[in-house]
Amino acid sequence: MANLLIAHGGGPTSVINASLYGVITEAKKYPEIEKVYGAVGGSSGMLTENFIDLKEISDEEILKLLKTPASALGTSRFPLYEKEYERILEVFEKYNIKWLLFNGGNGSMDTCGKIYEIAKDKGIGVVGIPKTIDNDIFTTDHAPGYGSAARFIAQTVKEIGEDVKSLPIHVSVVEAMGRNAGWITAASALARKKEGDAPHLIYLPERPFNEEEFLEDVQKLHEKYGGVVVAVSEGLKNDKGEPVAPPIFRTERAIYTGDVGTHLATLVVKNLGIKARSEKPGIAGRASIMNQSPVDVNEAVEAGKVALQSVLEGKTGVMVGVKRISTDPYQCETILIPIKEVMMGEKIMPDEFINERGNDVTDEFVKWARPLIGGELTDFADFNLGVRKEKI
Amino acid sequence: MANLLIAHGGGPTSVINASLYGVITEAKKYPEIEKVYGAVGGSSGMLTENFIDLKEISDEEILKLLKTPASALGTSRFPLYEKEYERILEVFEKYNIKWLLFNGGNGSMDTCGKIYEIAKDKGIGVVGIPKTIDNDIFTTDHAPGYGSAARFIAQTVKEIGEDVKSLPIHVSVVEAMGRNAGWITAASALARKKEGDAPHLIYLPERPFNEEEFLEDVQKLHEKYGGVVVAVSEGLKNDKGEPVAPPIFRTERAIYTGDVGTHLATLVVKNLGIKARSEKPGIAGRASIMNQSPVDVNEAVEAGKVALQSVLEGKTGVMVGVKRISTDPYQCETILIPIKEVMMGEKIMPDEFINERGNDVTDEFVKWARPLIGGELTDFADFNLGVRKEKI
């Protein structure tokens, strides 16, 4: 008899609790696991021995995890200091923890890999469960959390597109999360059903932003469609690699830049004289339960279950990943990837997913991403009114 | 045999199409209505004779109206010039229009009232259908569109609250729509289930913003809870009645101010040194189909039906309104209000709905608003972790 510990790391997703659900429900099947500890507040909870026993929580509460955003255990963004790893080993011994599941993104997989290195001689198994809205985890086709963030932005841009079309007097710039990788912003393309549908322009951090071309494109599209919807990644950079939005002010620790969506909208008003506004759902985009992708929820649960099974089978130093077998019909299999490989990089959008002008994604991306949002978006009534030009 | 015309005016809601559904399905029951014209693009469509025959549209497409945001007919923000009213009478004669239903907010009811005045001697009936996310229409308890905007902000703030609580390292300022009236922002209070739940502070345009008290409150709440969620109305003003957010630039037509959410977050970082960010769902908040309030949808459909029945019965110069009979259990009845009375003002939050410090709403407001969002919000798993202070 020994105990299992599960911890969350980094910014939450709308399905990280679904992976937790998978771990807990699966763990209950194995009598060799005495306690299923949850570290409260991620790695901090491991250091401060702030644990809760997840087997003690009612089935009713556990079931709610499937529809609960954020992290029910609490999470943290702080990396561990070198000497803190030794402390973690002490805690593991004190609590008779033989198995660790660490559920997080790139930063957490790094922590996970380091714990594995120091814990492997003690017979402690360590398995990573991927989690990211940004889809920037290396070596896996995609990771739980992305499909729901993608569905949220697609649904939201589709709805905003209807609004802007029905009242064609402005440009709306929708800012999506993702500092270094444009996967979420790119998924706004899934809002489209026919030519002319929003989003009309998509800007990703993988390509330097060209202000002149942007204004040229907005002008043309405004003439063509009246209302224009632009999707932009919060991490958009210029050709010097600097944020496109100007800095607002500096503190000792950081430079605060303005919102890129607001900045682009301001460019449009100032240079083209066209009314423009911006929308920034921000963290609402990673916490939306109403827009969870059912495929994403299922894959998140599955990742939790497989992680639990794997660590019990003695697999260690690995992360549960997804390998795509086929896109149409959508078919994936769960694989185990050495964490060392995961730690090698950050996955950004490949060239073949971005168009030449850098203002849109390719059909190839849309085909790749479509199954991840878990079914069609709401089909709206369309009276085919044509483009309205009056009184713009 | 004569024809009916329906037009939309002003910014859309997520249920204005539900009222259209009510009108069309009801109109089909009356053989004396030959055609049900929809004015494409609101009043502009009336002037340019841009009509579609809504009886020709398939039942399947009409049904989709219940789940379609924005305006399926197209809408417009432009008021009519005086001489254009005469033009409208010509168009009515040419198309044998005997009944007009105008679906909009305060501006549209003004237009509606003016058309009524000039059309009344011609035997043309005019009935208004209220629509607003802002809930600022005078004389009616509330109006279709508000309940869904309220549900959206409550659900979104609840989700953001979970996120901020699980990663307690910052303040999130959520900006809601509403320039002069704080009804939408106030509805964020419906996110709360127990003490300490988000939103922790609510700022409305009905009260001048006090920066010093705001910073004091944020500091205290941050010490108490770690993560703090602030809901703020886009129209927040200082004690001089000016927008709180500083102007970014001016054009000939308007002054563009920054986003108030961003401004408040910046105040927190600069003055308190606490990490803060802002979210601005913007028009996503009035276009969200996933967050429609079922009560709101039903009331919107009903308003359309009653408007149609009333105009056929010869009632004219009136708007369909809602009178509340009881709050618990929730019971309302549909009434007809002379448009002249509607035109008399804009409804802002009354004093008894705002707390003394001007940083929250009262229980009275919450009781009043609760039934409008149509049922409880998703119940999230709660492991009662307590307040985490480590490494903030």
Query: Which of A17, A64, A159, A292 is the mutation pick for testing B, counting most B CBs within 10 A?
Result: A159
Answer yes or no: is pLDDT of A392 > 60.
no
For the segment B366-379, the average pLDDT, to the nearest whole number, is 97
pLDDT of residue B389: 63
**Distance in Å, alpha carbon of A204 to nearest chain B alpha carbon:** 20
- Indicate which residues of B carry an active-site annotation: 134
Q: Could you read off the pLDDT of B29-75 as tens digits, one per residue?
A: 999 999 999 999 999 999 999 999 999 999 999 999 999 999 999 99
**Distance in Å, alpha carbon of A134 to nearest chain B alpha carbon:** 16
Chain A CB contacts of B74 under 8 Å are 165-168, 385, 388
pLDDT of residue B391: 47
Per the CB < 8 Å rule, is B283 touching A291?
no
**Which of B:14-73 have CB within 8 Å of A?**
17, 38, 40-41, 44, 48, 50, 52, 57, 61-62, 64-65, 67-73
**CA pair distance B80, B339, nearest whole angstrom:** 17
Average pLDDT, chain B: 95
Answer yes or no: is pLDDT of A223 > 70.
yes
pLDDT of residue A13: 97
Percent of chain B with pLDDT over 90: 90
The edge-to-edge listing of strands for the beta sheet with B318-326 is B51-53, B33-39, B2-8, B97-104, B125-130, B318-326, B331-338
Inter-chain CB pairs, A–B, below 8 Å: 235
Q: What's chain B look like in SS3?
A: CEEEEEEECCCCCCCHHHHHHHHHHHHCCCCCEEEEEEECCCHHHHHCCCEEEHHHCCHHHHHHHHHCCCCCCCCCCCCCCHHHHHHHHHHHHHCCEEEEEEEECHHHHHHHHHHHHHHHHHCCEEEEEECCCCCCECCCCCCCCHHHHHHHHHHHHHHHHHHHHHCCCCEEEEEECCCCCCHHHHHHHHHCCCCCCCCCEEECCCCCCCHHHHHHHHHHHHHHHCCEEEEEECCCECCCCCECCCEEEECCCCEEECCHHHHHHHHHHHHHCCCEEEEECCCHHHHCCCCCCHHHHHHHHHHHHHHHHHHHCCCCCEEEEEEEEECCCCEEEEEEEEHHHHCCCECCCCHHHECCCCCCECHHHHHHHHHHHCCCCCCCCCCCCCCCCCCC
pLDDT of residue B250: 79
- Nearest Cβ partner of B279 from A64, A156, A280? A280
B117 falls in which pLDDT band (50, 70, 90)? very high
Chain A CB contacts of B279 under 8 Å are 280-284
pLDDT of residue A79: 83
Chain A CB contacts of B287 under 8 Å are 159-160, 162-163
Q: Is A187 helix (H, G, I), strand (E, B) or coil?
A: helix
A324 falls in which pLDDT band (50, 70, 90)? very high
**CA pair distance B362, B207, nearest whole angstrom:** 14
Per the CB < 8 Å rule, is B61 touching A382?
yes
Per the CB < 8 Å rule, is B381 touching A17?
yes
Per the CB < 8 Å rule, is A44 touching B262?
no
For the segment B333-360, the average pLDDT, to the nearest whole number, is 95
End-to-end CA distance of chain A: 72
Answer yes or no: is pLDDT of A380 > 60.
yes
Chain B CB contacts of A72 under 8 Å are 166, 380-383
For chain B, say whether A357 makes contact (Cβ under 8 Å): no
Answer yes or no: is pLDDT of A361 > 50.
yes
Q: Could you read off the pLDDT of A55-77 as tens digits, one per residue?
A: 999 999 999 999 999 999 999 98
Answer yes or no: is pLDDT of A292 > 70.
yes
**Distance in Å, alpha carbon of B284 to nearest chain A alpha carbon:** 6
Answer yes or no: is pLDDT of B115 > 50.
yes
B1 falls in which pLDDT band (50, 70, 90)? confident
Phi and psi for A39 in degrees, rounded to 5?
-80, 120
Per the CB < 8 Å rule, is B278 touching A278?
no
For the segment A215-227, the average pLDDT, to the nearest whole number, is 95
Q: Would you call A360 a catalytic residue per the annotation? A: no
The alpha-carbon radius of gyration of chain A (Å, integer) is 22
pLDDT of residue A353: 98
Q: How many CA atoms lie within 13 A of B72 on its CB side?
A: 30
Q: Which residue has the tokens 């869904």?
A: B148
Chain B CB contacts of A283 under 8 Å are 160, 163-164, 172, 277, 279
- The pair of structure tokens assigned to B58 is 């398939």
- Nearest Cβ partner of A159 from B17, B270, B289? B289
**CA pair distance A54, A37, nearest whole angstrom:** 6
Q: Could you read off the pLDDT of A154-169 as tens digits, one per residue?
A: 999 999 999 999 987 6
Per the CB < 8 Å rule, is A11 touching B167?
yes
pLDDT of residue B390: 54
pLDDT of residue B277: 94
Phi and psi for B39 in degrees, rounded to 5?
-80, 120
Chain A CB contacts of B388 under 8 Å are 40-41, 44, 74
For chain B, say whether A255 makes contact (Cβ under 8 Å): no
**Which of B:77-96 have CB within 8 Å of A?**
77-78
For chain B, say whether A330 makes contact (Cβ under 8 Å): no
Per the CB < 8 Å rule, is B11 touching A167?
yes
For the segment A311-320, the average pLDDT, to the nearest whole number, is 98
**Distance in Å, alpha carbon of B388 to nearest chain A alpha carbon:** 7
The whole-angstrom distance between residue B180's C-alpha and the CA centroid of its chain comes to: 12
**CA pair distance A105, A109, nearest whole angstrom:** 6
Per the CB < 8 Å rule, is A61 touching B382?
yes
For chain B, say whether A385 makes contact (Cβ under 8 Å): yes
For the segment A288-299, the average pLDDT, to the nearest whole number, is 97
Query: Which of B377, B390, B392 is the mutation pick for testing A, counting most A CBs within 10 A?
Result: B390
User: How far is CA A223 from each of CA A226, B122, B271, rounded to the nearest angstrom?
Assistant: 6, 40, 45
Query: Which of B16, B76, B159 is the mutation pick for testing A, counting most A CBs within 10 A?
Result: B159
Answer yes or no: is pLDDT of B193 > 70.
yes
Average pLDDT, chain A: 95
- Nearest Cβ partner of A290 from B77, B262, B290? B290
pTM of the model: 0.97
Per the CB < 8 Å rule, is A76 touching B156?
no
* Active-site position among A134, A136, A197, A217: A134
**Distance in Å, alpha carbon of A279 to nearest chain B alpha carbon:** 5
**Distance in Å, alpha carbon of A391 to nearest chain B alpha carbon:** 8
For chain A, say whether B188 makes contact (Cβ under 8 Å): no
A330 falls in which pLDDT band (50, 70, 90)? very high
**Which of A:115-134 have CB within 8 Å of B?**
none
Query: Which of B48, B65, B103, B166 is the mutation pick for testing A, counting most A CBs within 10 A?
Result: B166
- Nearest Cβ partner of A166 from B12, B258, B259? B12
Burial A200-236 (b: 16+ CB within 10 A, else e): bbbbbbbbebbeeebbebbeebbeebbbbbbbbbbbb
Answer yes or no: is pLDDT of B392 > 50.
no
